[in-house]
Amino acid sequence: MNAQELLKLLELVQCGKLTPAKAIERLKHLPFEDLDFAKVDHHRTLRQGFAEVIFGKGKTPEQIAKIVRAMLAKKDSKHNILITRTDAKTFSAVKRAARKESRLAKFHPLSGVIAIERDTKIVGKGTILVVSAGTSDIPVAEEAVVTAEMMGNEVQHFYDVGVAGIHRLLANREALTKARVVIVCAGMEGALPSVVGGLVGVPVIAVPTSIGYGASFKGMAALLGMLNSCASNVSVVNIDNGFGAGCVARENDRG
Amino acid sequence: MNAQELLKLLELVQCGKLTPAKAIERLKHLPFEDLDFAKVDHHRTLRQGFAEVIFGKGKTPEQIAKIVRAMLAKKDSKHNILITRTDAKTFSAVKRAARKESRLAKFHPLSGVIAIERDTKIVGKGTILVVSAGTSDIPVAEEAVVTAEMMGNEVQHFYDVGVAGIHRLLANREALTKARVVIVCAGMEGALPSVVGGLVGVPVIAVPTSIGYGASFKGMAALLGMLNSCASNVSVVNIDNGFGAGCVARENDRG
Amino acid sequence: MNAQELLKLLELVQCGKLTPAKAIERLKHLPFEDLDFAKVDHHRTLRQGFAEVIFGKGKTPEQIAKIVRAMLAKKDSKHNILITRTDAKTFSAVKRAARKESRLAKFHPLSGVIAIERDTKIVGKGTILVVSAGTSDIPVAEEAVVTAEMMGNEVQHFYDVGVAGIHRLLANREALTKARVVIVCAGMEGALPSVVGGLVGVPVIAVPTSIGYGASFKGMAALLGMLNSCASNVSVVNIDNGFGAGCVARENDRG
Amino acid sequence: MNAQELLKLLELVQCGKLTPAKAIERLKHLPFEDLDFAKVDHHRTLRQGFAEVIFGKGKTPEQIAKIVRAMLAKKDSKHNILITRTDAKTFSAVKRAARKESRLAKFHPLSGVIAIERDTKIVGKGTILVVSAGTSDIPVAEEAVVTAEMMGNEVQHFYDVGVAGIHRLLANREALTKARVVIVCAGMEGALPSVVGGLVGVPVIAVPTSIGYGASFKGMAALLGMLNSCASNVSVVNIDNGFGAGCVARENDRG
Amino acid sequence: MNAQELLKLLELVQCGKLTPAKAIERLKHLPFEDLDFAKVDHHRTLRQGFAEVIFGKGKTPEQIAKIVRAMLAKKDSKHNILITRTDAKTFSAVKRAARKESRLAKFHPLSGVIAIERDTKIVGKGTILVVSAGTSDIPVAEEAVVTAEMMGNEVQHFYDVGVAGIHRLLANREALTKARVVIVCAGMEGALPSVVGGLVGVPVIAVPTSIGYGASFKGMAALLGMLNSCASNVSVVNIDNGFGAGCVARENDRG
Amino acid sequence: MNAQELLKLLELVQCGKLTPAKAIERLKHLPFEDLDFAKVDHHRTLRQGFAEVIFGKGKTPEQIAKIVRAMLAKKDSKHNILITRTDAKTFSAVKRAARKESRLAKFHPLSGVIAIERDTKIVGKGTILVVSAGTSDIPVAEEAVVTAEMMGNEVQHFYDVGVAGIHRLLANREALTKARVVIVCAGMEGALPSVVGGLVGVPVIAVPTSIGYGASFKGMAALLGMLNSCASNVSVVNIDNGFGAGCVARENDRG
Amino acid sequence: MNAQELLKLLELVQCGKLTPAKAIERLKHLPFEDLDFAKVDHHRTLRQGFAEVIFGKGKTPEQIAKIVRAMLAKKDSKHNILITRTDAKTFSAVKRAARKESRLAKFHPLSGVIAIERDTKIVGKGTILVVSAGTSDIPVAEEAVVTAEMMGNEVQHFYDVGVAGIHRLLANREALTKARVVIVCAGMEGALPSVVGGLVGVPVIAVPTSIGYGASFKGMAALLGMLNSCASNVSVVNIDNGFGAGCVARENDRG
Amino acid sequence: MNAQELLKLLELVQCGKLTPAKAIERLKHLPFEDLDFAKVDHHRTLRQGFAEVIFGKGKTPEQIAKIVRAMLAKKDSKHNILITRTDAKTFSAVKRAARKESRLAKFHPLSGVIAIERDTKIVGKGTILVVSAGTSDIPVAEEAVVTAEMMGNEVQHFYDVGVAGIHRLLANREALTKARVVIVCAGMEGALPSVVGGLVGVPVIAVPTSIGYGASFKGMAALLGMLNSCASNVSVVNIDNGFGAGCVARENDRG
């Protein structure tokens, strides 16, 4: 181990067997990044705070169950566990793996998210509002909602408030203006974030969804629309990236 | 001339020098499309009604002046004349060419449109409303306004009513709902037609503009947004095609 | 209810318990959009006139049947019901749900449209003509036809009249010139709307279809072709959007 | 004025000349959005806080000078004024327009930003760090820096710390981890935000720049890279949109 | 029938019941395109010469069998029949439909082409040479080969002579230079037509294939390469369009 | 010289100084391609027949004049000389360089082509017809016309016969059907080649032009349209490549 | 055989039956490329050195087994055999085909590579290091690893060292700097090659992978990122082309 | 300075004022990257070996001259200096700045490269061959040539050996097969690297150039072609990136 190597080196200095100058020479060639590794890891843990995350897509139910079991085995921490892009079959495997804590595991079928909420403390300072333009955007919105909740935020949501029926959005303006961060999920023309951005004075995180057909080009139209938003408080994440939006909102709400 | 050839042929039939059966044989080889040409031309004139149009781009001031002079020389008709995508220098040339009618010629510097309004009769049945999202979209909107006016329509316009300040649009909703056709010009994210489409019960003609930068890709983002509009009464013309929007609106308003 | 809240507030003013100035203060914080909601809704109903529409894609037969049952239960209105992008299995479920009105339900297998025609009144002023370039474009054309019919329009159609056999189109020119609006569905090079646009003096609504292979890029080639049409009375809707074309045509024909 | 109209209406109710029911009828037809307009405007002012913004591109020096003069004439507020995408000639015009306050006007030649700082109060809670990958990205970074400063934030910046010399970034990690928001401007492959996102536990706002050539496609490569960032705290604004990044960062830092 | 209508009209002229001038008036309103229709049809038959073509994709075996049966039933002509993009199941149906001529039907499994060769006369003047870059391009090449053969051409082919082993192509140069038209099918980088174009003095018809992966973008890379060919005798058809190449080559070889 | 080297080697074999086996060894290492070079060159000369071609773009007037002087100096051949993409200034330099033959040099200002016609023999077997959709496409069409003429073909042209006025094309159908090859130049939606392809039974060479704006994407829309042509006798060359079309047509017409 | 033909010809010269001049004439018409073929083939064998390669995709297990059997039957060479993009079923068939050598055959399920290692000699001069950004990139990385190994190279690999956790990469810098060539496989934003390129002084071969979703566009984002790398020692191969990277690295390492 | 801080810390350990364990604690918080910085820098110098590079584009002649003066002032090293993408005016400024060494400065006008060759030692092991497809690709090829030369390599070049005249390439095959690395620059269809890759057994570095027009899309067609090369020893750099190709080749040739 590097820390041990370093200790040895310092003990050689302490007992006079190595001059400080020569120690510096040796230190330059030490793989010091390993120390760095530890430090960053520590940062990671601090940062991710309430949740450990598994990207489920491309992993078998067994693989996911195994990772979950290892996470739950850690004694010293009671982090929430979030598994994205998964399915009912994986949920069964996860429940079995969770044993005593299996009743904490919850499956969100629209988004395919599994959440094991072991710590319900709220660490965010305000409310994160998740808005979806259509009912088809709800899976992405739900991924954002659960992500933000599992990371210790108060989350509220309004679904199906798209721009072609602008009154539905306006009817909820009070809630909009009270939110600390707004996540807006929209496919097709992706116009909703601009409208929301004009109504609120907080960060708006836009999530283009792959909803649509023809010239929507699997979310490309919505993505371009959001990047060109005429509202100056809008930033954008990848197509269908509800998880990313939840994370960015969390960072915003922690500050 | 073909009509004359045809006349001769028929006279041959009349005077018995040609049997009907043989006449049919000959008719099959006549360039009958020339008749067709005339007929369509006639249609064209009827259809274009009040305006003759010159696409100015790529033509010299002299060329345009020459065409205008020829148009004005036609005795039997007093059509309006519309010249798109031109400039002040061309306007001078056109004024000189217009002679007695020079005071009818008017130059719209933002859009580069020259209009010679010789017939002010209104043939449209309602009002065409032209809406622009930003002040930068006005040149395109103006091209639409002048086109529709020159073709005999009542035209009204609201500029700078983009979606990031939705209240500005809502403040004019009464006028919106009274229009018979609405043209909406917008660059950047191109979201305005969807919002307008949700507020009115008439055709909305969306014109993407090349306004924006970066990922607007010279109007591509706005174009895709409009094609994916979640409002079902929206159809789209080419980027910056204010003239086309004016023509389509005219057709709608004539019906 | 908001109207009631407002009534109370005004009664307080009336009976002197609230000064007008204070009432204004309160009014500013009323969720006035709810009034707006109602008004817009009313507009919606008026506007959609004869048809209520369900976008079938992504919904289960059961979900659709449930919505249909609710629609049919409304006593005060006899709207037509249109369900797009669905299948035979859903049609069975819808028929069961429709009970007494089940014989009104009709399934169009090419386009996957289900139509329940409860009101056969014609409200359009003329004929909407739907033209398709090839036989493969018929599903999209059929969606347009049924949409326009269900919304109270007289609809006629010509299929398989593509530009590589221009005589087939010309042979039907009489019908073309009599239509009040023409919808043109074409895949591959998407050239038909330009040709039609040059033959008629009414609005042409172009629908690119995803028919083709290779460099057709799922309708992109046809879409670009239509947007660049050299005919000035052509506007465009999304790829395969027969429903949208039907709606836009309806608006045009209502005027 | 609408508030006055409303007042009159309520006074009519108060004095018994109008029943509450009839008042409701009238209210429904009031252009209530005008009230809304005022309220939103009020919000805008509150929100934009320290700065009024002019998008300089496409405006003449005279037009900009005129707007600035009007802004400075408002007695009741001492907002900062920010003019983006402008040049030295405009700066001269603005200085003349600013008269007594001309010495407060400052021109940033790389980004073309003019700033008139009339209020130096800091309202942000922490430090916004602006990082650029190369020296060519500095104009965009500078736009972000000045925007954030003019809106009342403490701003720090590191330039030329791109990923091909990762040690330059690591050398400044202490500052990185202390920032409350990090703005990262990068062209070419746009990889820097991912690296920064992995090092910090705060929101990272990625700004793709149009720096590069060939397959950079004017910022498209950088934009796609940033949208696909494997770091979960990264969101993205439009290509070269330093102003937008400054605004989003401001919102984050205010919370 | 129109010819009959025309005959009647001419008879009216002949017998003096209609003046030639009035006949012209009436003729202008005749649907003369129907005559045209016949004429063009006649052209079509002449032109397509030896083959009638069915585009099999999207048609059921039964539909295709029915069309084939109708074609074979025509007494006066013994055209070849070509069915593209089909499968073994359709072939069985076609064989049953072909009855006495079933032994003439042949199925090409790689390309999915069915050919019923009823007339083996050669009408082309030279040899059409079909070249493929890789073995994976053979299905497209085969479609071209069978198409050209069925239309009365002498066809030769060289497969798997791609540019990364240029000696394989050079080894066959004698045959190359003897061909009257060369069809070159290539996927991936699509470089082969340029090399062939430089070696021969006859038209080269390039067919990009969708062979490849990653940045081949389903034939887009090959297509762009061929369009930018530095050889001046190369023209291009759609991706995977072996049939089109066969047709174009046929036209070239007929001249 | 290689032929000489080879001669020497064979003479060594003849006089017994080298065994055939050893000669083979040496031959394997001879740069035999040089022979090949000559042979191909010879082919080139034969093939290009009547014209030597200079691509003018990016070359100075002096460079072009120098090349022309060298070409004219060759005693044994009287080839035509074709210089594409050039200007009036270059034409002056070329005229000076041409001296005695200067009166043969002709400049085509629309296309920027300089032609020195020293041999007016016709070698093509039929007529090449060049058709343009709009007047703006004429420069590209002219490049095709002059190229084909200079290579010894009879060329005819029809300009401004686009699809939105299909009667203009039909009026010239007789000429169309008489051509041996048809070149069709069109920008915007690029629909003309399909219509022409359906009217004629000869090869149609489609040239997309960069004419248009907005979603024409500098010829991309026209290019895609032509590649997806529903007429089976259409092949395509690069955007604005009138020269290439002329060459391909020449090959077709020589056969 | 050509060499024999040539020998005969030379013997004719030797015995005086053919003059050297006439021999030259005949030589010009010899298919000399066949000699060339042999020579190139010889080069190929020398070059490919230790491995014969089969691209498995699109081939049946039986076809592959047959090719393998033929390869193993060659007595004079003991090349390694590499089969890419295949599966377990094919592996069974290959094992049966390999008979005595079946125990040498090994299947790599992640990448679908089958390797038959018959010659374990190391011919590369250093170590090829294969690095992957994420665990999902491992299949592509594995294809590169096995390819390089089967061609006689020492290969080392580090997986899951992406840029969002830069410390993981830095921790392995010693190994990085010792490698003679580095292959870097990364999807999503494709940033890793730039970072690696900045840390090492040897060629970096970047392999974009199709890993990601939304705006990753199946590896396009990673590909563009790598092409725009700010590190000057990075070159790129096709998306998912681990085999190509292994080959290029091999060439680099042989030198 | 950090090294000094470290020295102090070690001295404290040496003199017993700090235990090794506590020293480790402090070391963890040292900005150790600064050490790293130095080390990497050292690496950089070693690595870049013979040349220091300035990317000239976007820098004024004065700025470049100033950087050059500073480079020349360094006493301890005699590196070559390479300035890319510059012009004659800058060259004058550089010559003045170079003073005594001004005669070493050389300007390459086609590529805009300035080279100051102060060290002519060859460190590469073989010859780098630079090949260009057309004369228009020479500027990019020249940038590669000068870059490789200035970094201590033997460089040879063949220009204008494109695939449409394959014999020109074959005529130089001997030189091709002797090179240790081949750089191939090609625009238009970008086919040359595949052909070269099939002829040689060394790494081929492909450089797409922006030469071409229409569907070449400024090098995109060439880029895609090269990425899809069917030759397995080809890797690719950015469009027009001759400098990058020179660097990669240098790394290859150093090994």
Query: Across residues A246-250, what is the average pLDDT?
Result: 92
Distance from CA of D36 to the nearest CA of C (A): 8
Residue D98: strand, helix, or coil: helix
Q: In whole numbers, what is the pLDDT of chain D averaged over residues?
A: 83
Query: Across residues A118-142, what is the average pLDDT?
Result: 91
Are F92 and F61 spatial neighbours (Cβ–Cβ below 8 Å)? yes
Is the model more confident about A71 or about D2? A71
pLDDT above 80: residue F207: yes
Give residues with Cβ within 8 angstroms of D207, minimum separation 6: D140, D141, D144, D183, D184, D185, D186, D236, D237, D239, D240, D241, D242, D244, D245
pLDDT above 70: residue C77: no
pLDDT at site B26:
64
Q: Do A166 and B224 touch (CB under 8 A)?
A: no
pLDDT at site E31:
35
**Interface residue C216 vs chain E (CB under 8 A):** yes
Q: Is B9 exposed, middle or buried (0-12, 13-18, 19+ CB in 10 A)?
A: buried
Residue G106: strand, helix, or coil: strand
Segment A57-116, tens digit of pLDDT: 878 899 899 888 888 887 656 789 999 999 999 999 999 999 989 999 999 999 999 999
pLDDT above 70: residue A150: yes
Look at C241-255, D77-91, F48-62, H226-240 and tell me which has the smallest mean pLDDT: F48-62
pLDDT above 80: residue E184: yes
Q: Do G252 and H247 touch (CB under 8 A)?
A: no
Segment 79-138 of chain G within 8 Å of chain F by CB: none
Q: Is H240 exposed, middle or buried (0-12, 13-18, 19+ CB in 10 A)?
A: buried
**Residue G82 carries which side chain, given as an amino acid letter?**
L
pLDDT above 80: residue C36: no
Which of C6, C13, C35 has its CB closest to that of D14? C13
Grade residue A24 by pLDDT with cuts at 50, 70 and 90.
low
Give the residue on H whose Cα is nearest the Cα of F239: H214
Give the residue on H whose Cα is nearest the Cα of A12: H14
Q: Do F7 and G20 touch (CB under 8 A)?
A: yes
Which of D180, D235, D239 has its CB closest to that of A237? D235
Q: In whole numbers, what is the pLDDT of chain G averaged over residues?
A: 83
Grade residue A33 by pLDDT with cuts at 50, 70 and 90.
very low
pLDDT above 50: residue D32: no
Segment G6-65, tens digit of pLDDT: 677 778 888 888 887 777 666 654 433 333 322 333 333 333 445 688 888 888 899 899
**Interface residue B178 vs chain D (CB under 8 A):** no
Grade residue H4 by pLDDT with cuts at 50, 70 and 90.
low
Q: Do E24 and B32 touch (CB under 8 A)?
A: no
pLDDT at site E53:
86
pLDDT above 50: residue F35: no
Q: Is D196 exposed, middle or buried (0-12, 13-18, 19+ CB in 10 A)?
A: buried
Give the residue on E whose Cα is nearest the Cα of G34: E171
Q: Do B225 and A197 touch (CB under 8 A)?
A: no
Q: Do E221 and H224 touch (CB under 8 A)?
A: yes
**Residue C177 carries which side chain, given as an amino acid letter?**
T
Segment A211-225, tens digit of pLDDT: 899 999 999 999 999
Look at B159-163, D3-7, D170-174, F82-86 and tell me which has the smallest mean pLDDT: D3-7
Comparing CA positions, the residue from F114, F77, F78, F120 lying closest to residue F95 is F114
Is the model more confident about H244 or about F125? H244
Is the model more confident about A25 or about C121? C121
Grade residue A209 by pLDDT with cuts at 50, 70 and 90.
very high
pLDDT at site B251:
79
Q: Do H11 and A32 touch (CB under 8 A)?
A: no
Query: Across residues F46-71, what is the average pLDDT?
Result: 78
Residues in D closer than 8 angstroms to B220, CB to CB, are none
Is the model more confident about G86 or about F162? G86
Segment H145-164, tens digit of pLDDT: 999 999 999 999 998 888 87
Which of F3, F20, F35 has its CB closest to that of G10? F20
pLDDT at site C47:
39
Query: Across residues H80-104, what is the average pLDDT?
Result: 94
The secondary element (H helix, E strand) that includes residue F206 is: strand F204-208
- Percentage of residues in chain F with pLDDT exceeding 70? 85
- Percentage of residues in chain H with pLDDT exceeding 70? 85
**Interface residue B249 vs chain C (CB under 8 A):** no
What's the whole-model pTM score?
0.83
Where b means 16+ CB within 10 Å and e means fewer, H173-183 reads: beebeebbbbb
pLDDT above 60: residue H64: yes
Query: Across residues D76-98, what is the average pLDDT?
Result: 90
How many whole angstroms separate alpha carbon H119 and alpha carbon H51?
9
Grade residue C162 by pLDDT with cuts at 50, 70 and 90.
confident
pLDDT above 70: residue H96: yes
Q: Do D188 and G222 touch (CB under 8 A)?
A: no
pLDDT above 70: residue F33: no
Grade residue H38 by pLDDT with cuts at 50, 70 and 90.
very low
pLDDT at site G29:
43
Segment H169-180, tens digit of pLDDT: 887 777 888 899
Which residues face B207 on adjacent strands? B185
Token pair recorded at residue A251 = 């960072």
Segment 9-38 of chain C within 8 Å of chain D by CB: 10-11, 13-14, 16, 19-21, 23-24, 27-28, 32, 35-36
**Interface residue A219 vs chain G (CB under 8 A):** yes
ipTM exceeds 0.85: no
Comparing CA positions, the residue from D230, D236, D169, D218 lying closest to residue D194 is D230
Is the model more confident about H252 or about C213? C213
pLDDT at site D137:
93
Q: Do D235 and A223 touch (CB under 8 A)?
A: no
pLDDT above 70: residue A243: yes
Query: Across residues C139-157, what is the average pLDDT?
Result: 95
Is the model more confident about E36 or about D193? D193
Contacting partners of chain B (3+ CB pairs under 8 A):
A, C, D, E, F
pLDDT at site F86:
95
Distance from CA of D83 to the nearest CA of A (A): 15
Segment of F205-219, G49-63, H76-90 carrying the highest mean pLDDT: F205-219
Contacting partners of chain F (3+ CB pairs under 8 A):
B, C, E, G, H
- Percentage of residues in chain C with pLDDT exceeding 90? 47
Round the CA-based radius of gyration of chain H to a whole number and report it: 23
Round the CA-based radius of gyration of chain E to a whole number and report it: 23
Give the residue on C whose Cα is nearest the Cα of E58: C136
Query: Across residues G98-103, what is the average pLDDT?
Result: 91
pLDDT at site C38:
28
pLDDT above 50: residue H40: no
Q: In whole numbers, what is the pLDDT of chain H averaged over residues?
A: 83
pLDDT above 50: residue A34: no
Q: Do B13 and E14 touch (CB under 8 A)?
A: yes
Comparing CA positions, the residue from F153, F193, F200, F205 lying closest to residue F177 is F200
Q: How far is CA G67 from CA B129, E246, G92, G93, in A?
A: 72, 32, 14, 11
**Interface residue B240 vs chain F (CB under 8 A):** yes
pLDDT at site E45:
36
Q: Do B189 and A163 touch (CB under 8 A)?
A: no
- Spans of chain B below 50 pLDDT: 1-2, 29-49
Token pair recorded at residue F127 = 């007529």
Which residues face H53 on adjacent strands? H82
DSSP chain C: -HHHHHHHHHHHHHTTSS-HHHHHHHHHHS-THHHHHHHHHHHHHHHHTTEEEEE-TT--HHHHHHHHHHHHH-SS---EEEEES--HHHHHHHHHHHGGGGGGEEEETTTTEEEE--------SSEEEEEESSGGGHHHHHHHHHHHHHTT-EEEEE-S--GGGHHHHHTTHHHHHH-SEEEEEE-TT--HHHHHHHH-SS-EEEEE-----GGGGGGHHHHHHHHT-SSTTEEE--TT-HHHHHHHHHHHHH-
